[in-house]
Structure 1
């Protein structure tokens, strides 16, 4: 079931729900430059056990593009607002990259509503080189739209051999990137530049699984391993031969990595 849902804040988010009535809820959150379709390879697997709620993050897909810049308080608040609008008391949460970072914010601030988090291919802080990289990315997008960074994005998201072997899916991912609203993309980049959860990971009270591709540069195995070590009970699982968007690059291995944690 697809629906556009207006939150109490006034922001309208595009959503998709799959899975049986009465099943526990699992919320999926997309990366920067993507939309809810990035989870297509997981839906059949997850909806056998969960009522799965996907949504386009504000500024992405068919969701509203409020005036920016955005903050992670905004992105976290959108999830809680969506839960309130759908009368969801508690849910598990899985996000990738920006979505995974949103999950960390939920774990820290709303452990009464979020029961488990899978943080995939994310990080928890914004050191100076990271901030500078987003300045360059925003400048390129403002000048040339998402087309200006599409090929570079694919190069970091998906390994070269996978792209060569999967041209149709690679094209669909590229189309998803280039369809992203420029203002929404830039507003979310501003949130990423203010990312500051690393110092608080020791306060997390709910189970968190960190999952990442072995070939991921932006959220490297070393970075994610350190995040897991800083999180009470945290665990990191590395996906071999996968880059930044591991759930698309290696879907079977990704699904295997999360199934025990989520009980599917």
Structure 2
């Protein structure tokens, strides 16, 4: 028996609507309360990428008998955004949105959180704030901190200003596709590029701005949280596209910090690492086959 995979809406405490979808094997009914009998994988998205980004990998997860929760962050896909709250968006607030979703769904423990880019950062914040709520964390293609926290040029402000000036997200989407995927891959995968373009164009300008604010926040810094993950989750895996700018180097440093935290608790060997050959920033798309081999193996280990 499978769960209904239609898109649903959850009204959050601040009045926003959070768009989500659950699919895969359904847990057995239990008179004693919610059931976690089917391992659940939660997928968390990158900036400008609603949850359908994951659809090819979701099919693979279903084949391995996982239940899957997908959701759209604020102002992405079917999730709404309060324009008055855009500047107050942080990774703490993004993590709290997911906490409200899991509580509403009565999901007490997630087998794995898989996040790409800002979805990975959200996962780190969530796990640090809610120890034991996630068993395994997969961190993919994320920066370690806000550019404003370390005094390097901030690319987000200009992008937000350009989108607001244009009154649409079209140019941002085209620029993002070029950054994420290499030219040879785009030329060989035109249908997949168009699928991604159609998905990304559903991002609202103020939703894009809100998530950029989280990335710009001077308090956004994964490094102080890295050492705490050993006490919050059972296992961690870091995945990065080979061609994703300098992230193979910076994520290797993040991995060392996470491993040190596990080692301090006598949990050595719990942090895995994979570089997806030829892939860019969203390696579940342009590196799907290798990505799924590494990550699915980690989920089942």
Which TM-score applies when normalising by structure 2?
A: 0.83
Match of 2:91 in 1: 72
- Whether contact under 8 Å (2:48, 2:173) holds in the other structure is no
Over aligned residue pairs, what C-alpha RMSD do you find?
1.6
1:85 to 99, 104, 108: 104
Work out the CA distance in 2 between the residues paired with 1:235 and 1:58: 30
Work out the CA distance in 1 between the residues paired with 2:292 and 2:131: 24
Aligned residue pairs total 263
Gap runs ≥5 in structure 1: none
Q: Choose 126-135 or 195-204, whichever is displaced more.
A: 126-135
Match of 1:104 in 2: 124
Work out the CA distance in 1 between the residues paired with 2:147 and 2:20: 33
Match of 1:141 in 2: 163
1:136-171 superposed Cα distances (whole Å, 9 cap, x missing partner): 221221212311222221111112111101111101
Distance 1:130 1:208, change over 3 A: farther
Match of 1:223 in 2: 250
Work out the CA distance in 2 between the residues paired with 1:34 and 1:97: 10
Gap runs ≥5 in structure 2: 28-37, 260-269
Work out the CA distance in 2 between the residues paired with 1:148 and 1:8: 33
Which TM-score applies when normalising by structure 1?
A: 0.94
3-state SS, counterpart of residue 254 of structure 1:
helix
1:47 aligns with 2:62: yes
Match of 2:115 in 1: 95
Distance 1:28 1:131, change over 3 A: farther
3-state SS, counterpart of residue 43 of structure 2:
strand
Work out the CA distance in 2 between the residues paired with 1:179 and 1:113: 30
Match of 1:238 in 2: 275
Match of 1:21 in 2: 26
